[in-house]
Amino acid sequence: MFQKSHPIAVRIATPSLLVVLVLALGGCSGLGGGADSELSRAVSGGYRGSETLAVLLPESGRFAGAAQVVRDGLVAAREADPQGKRPELRFYDSAAGSATELVQKAAADGASLVIGPLQKPAVETLRAASALPVPVLALNQAAGAGNPPHNLYQFALSPEDEAIEAANKAWSAGHRRALMLYPEGNWGSRISRAFLQAWKGHGGSMAATQVYDPAAVDFSDTIAGFSERAAGGDFVFLVATSTEARLIWPQIRDKLGTEMPGYSTSHVLSGRFDPQRDQALVGLSFVEIPWLIEPAKGDSVSAKGLYKKLPQLYAMGVDAYRLGSRLEWLSRNPQARIQGKTGILRMDSLRRIHRELALARIDSSGPVMMATLDTGARALRTFARRVPLYEVGPRLAAVGPSRVGGLQD
């Protein structure tokens, strides 16, 4: 890893909040500044400026467009650093060679860190390697159990993570008996399994589950049968795209009542909230990256990416750049949390990055931030006025459906 000092950490000396907070370095000059200015300050990348970072992204093929958005986020984050603290970025076409060969080449070219690749098969190739010459922050997550190579870190925007976050939010809100509807097919099965595992891990129970045909136009029979088995359920977890949700959610509310809470993933809102098209979604809550719910004011990095077609991937590029200098530090501090563009970030024992997302509820004028916060967010917000945190703050320009799901295939 880079031979450099790591970001300062403050350990909260409160038994219920033993969470390590990462302070914003690079331009932050201590803790004495005004709280508001510290809250809006964007963290630097944390580099010395002499490093070379290799970026493996496809320049052609199915994922070339998504890769360009990730690249834009990386470049914007670098440009936000002070002039003398910007590492060199070297781009390699991951569609033009094997991932292991490209990592070897990047290391031979002098790279001290590799960011990428983006596609899951390429990440699985790296995971199968016996060793890697330099740290690699892959932008997807390989399947399977077991320990990856020591230098492999994995950072993914997976729909399963969103399902787990929905379960966490529902549990934190006091719900205990779930109702779940999900579509036939691989995508629906993956999300429903992730939710079910997380929900049962909390100790929650399932009052009823129902599979539906995503190609259907009329869901009345499906919802009628589901509602007959819904007694005792105290909320609904709906797995759906925006098109499906606009058809299904109003029927759920008609059958189960408008007071029945509903939770979902970010896929239920496609693009910006449309007051006419999306009125059918009123009352439904969904998890989303904080930056899209409350963009930080005055942040040039946010301003550049907020209106892109795939802003989640732009945010991923920003976070990948800023995580790069902190990977070893995070691996040594399992309680550490960083508030990034894609969520509150932490690393597990297998060096996988996990994200805590924000919860928004759709009302007649659009999504509104909900107050439910898990441990990491609660600790960050509690101490936000004491220390300059990594990218605290965020309001909504929601973006929707299966915009990143395809990268998991």
pLDDT at position 357, please? 94
Q: How many separate domains does the chain show?
A: 1
Q: What is the pLDDT of residues 249-304, one digit of tens each?
A: 999 999 999 999 999 999 999 878 888 999 999 999 999 988 888 776 667 776 66
Instruction: Answer for the pair 42, 322: CB distance below 8 angstroms, yes or no.
Output: no
Q: Which residue range forms the structural domain that includes residue 56?
A: 45-156+297-355
Q: Is residue 144 part of a domain?
A: yes
**How many other CB atoms are found less than 10 A from the CB of residue 292?**
27
Q: Is residue 321 part of a domain?
A: yes
pLDDT at position 91, please? 98
pLDDT at position 303, please? 64
Q: What is the pLDDT of residues 307-349, one digit of tens each?
A: 677 889 999 999 999 999 999 999 999 889 988 999 999 999 9
pLDDT at position 44, please? 76
Q: Which residues pair with 263 in a beta bridge?
A: 237, 285
pLDDT at position 283, please? 96
CATH number at residue 93: 3.40.50.2300
CB neighbour class for 275 (10 Å; exposed up to 12, middle 13-18, buried from 19): exposed
Low-confidence ranges of the chain (pLDDT < 50): 1-42, 372-406, 408
Q: Is residue 397 part of a domain?
A: no
Q: Is residue 399 part of a domain?
A: no
Q: Is residue 50 part of a domain?
A: yes
Q: Is residue 107 part of a domain?
A: yes
Q: Is residue 187 part of a domain?
A: no
**Residues contacting residue 240 through CB under 8 Å, at least 6 positions apart:** 181, 183, 214, 248, 249, 264, 267, 268
- Alpha-carbon distance 141 to 77, whole Å? 23
Q: Which two tokens stand for residue 310?
A: 């795939």
pLDDT at position 272, please? 80
pTM of the model: 0.80
pLDDT at position 43, please? 64
Q: Is residue 340 part of a domain?
A: yes
